[in-house]
Structures are given as C-alpha cells and as structure tokens.
Structure 1
Amino acid sequence: MTDEQVAALVSKTLESAPKNATHWSTRSMAKELGLSQSTVSRIWRAFGLQPHRSETFKLSTDPYFIDKVHDVVGLYLDPPERALVFWWESRPRTAARARRGGNG
C-alpha cells in the first residue's frame, strides 16, 4: 500500500458516506478505492475504525493520525524479517470504568 492509498482510505472512512447508504462497508470502500476487501478490513480492524457502529465511532483529533496509521499498517502488512509484531488494543477509559462499575 502506498501512503496515498492509506490516507485516502482513512480520510474517506472518517469524512464521507457512500451514495444510498448510511456508512461504508468493506466491500463498498474496496470497490470505491480499487483495493481488496481484505485490505480494507485489516486496516479498519488495526485502527478500530467501525463506521457501521456510529454510536461508538470516534474521530481521532491527533494531527499525526494518518502517519501513525501508515506506520502500523506497514508493520502489519510487511513486518521486518525475523521480527514478531504484536498488537495490543486497549479499551477506552469509559469502557473500562463501565466494566468495573465505577465512575472514575
């Protein structure tokens, strides 16, 4: 994947919706950008992008988000030789509080 393809996928996911639909599916996004459905799915999963779950979907305000997406997707799709790449997905703070039953 090129930087431009990753940026286009993330931007389109976060900033638009397809015609005649409320959100992007992996199939519609793949067709729109000329990518495979599995590529779209891996990138969305790697960064927790879930446009079909609008109640919990949050837009990152990090100005380096696209750069970080590119770095992590690059490691995920093409890890360095003889390297192990681990992924840790932490829960948002509010989800952790709700699970514990606390307020803070």
Structure 2
Amino acid sequence: MADSRLEPVVLSEDERQTLTGWARRRSTAQGLAMRARIVLACAQGGGNVAVAARLRLDRKTVARWRSRFLARRLDGLS
C-alpha cells in the first residue's frame, strides 16, 4: 500500500525508456543502474518501505533517490 503523503513518481515515456535502458544495459555503472531500478519501482506505485523490501535496500536509500529524481528528474540520478 502506498503512503499517501509521498509525491507520486510519474514518468514520461522518454524517461521510462532511458531508465529501463540504464537498468538493463550491462555497461551501465551499477550505482546508476540501481538508482534507475529504484525510480522505476517507485513509478509502479508503493511506498519507500515496499520498494526497499522488493529491491532489498534500506528505505532511506529509496527515499533519497525518489526525492532527488522528483527534484531534478534524470539529472538528479547522476
């Protein structure tokens, strides 16, 4: 169940394609690939705790990258 206090992550089609490419491409740095997977999971819905559990990460990590993406979009993940 999503936390209603969280701002939802809504992706444009271009952003979704870019993030999917980063997450799947073998040559992408692993940190960037994980950040892309975090944002994609947030866009599917669910709160930080649910996304963190699904990706086996700390909820603070998910919260950090969700907020950075919302503030600066793709540039915020670099």
Return the TM-score normalized by structure 2: 0.50
Matches within 5 A, 1:1-104: 2-14=31-43, 16=44, 23-48=45-70, 65=74, 68-71=75-78
C-alpha contact (below 8 Å) 2:52/2:58 kept by paired residues: yes
Which contiguous aligned blocks of 4+ residues in structure 1 show a shift greater than 6 angstroms? none
C-alpha RMSD of matched pairs (Å): 2.2
Aligned residues: 48
Output the CA distance in 2 between the equivalents of 1:33 and 1:69: 20
1:55-89 C-alpha deviation (Å, 9 max, x unpaired): xxxxx7xxxx2xx2321xxxxxxxxxxxxxxxxxx
Counterpart AA for 1:34: R
Give ranges in structure 1 of 5+ residues lacking alignment.
Answer: 17-22, 50-59, 72-104
Unaligned runs of 5+ in 2: 1-29
Q: Distance in 2 between matches of 1:5 and 1:46?
A: 14
Q: Is the 8 A contact 1:26 1:41 kept in 2?
A: yes
Percentage identity across paired residues of the two chains: 19
Which protein has the larger Cα radius of gyration, Structure 1 or Structure 2? Answer: 1
Deviations 1:7-43 (A, max 9, x none): 11111222x2xxxxxx311110000011100111111
Which amino acid is the alignment partner of residue 42 of structure 2? T
The answer to which structure, 1 or 2, has the higher relative contact order (CA under 8 A, 6+ apart) is 2
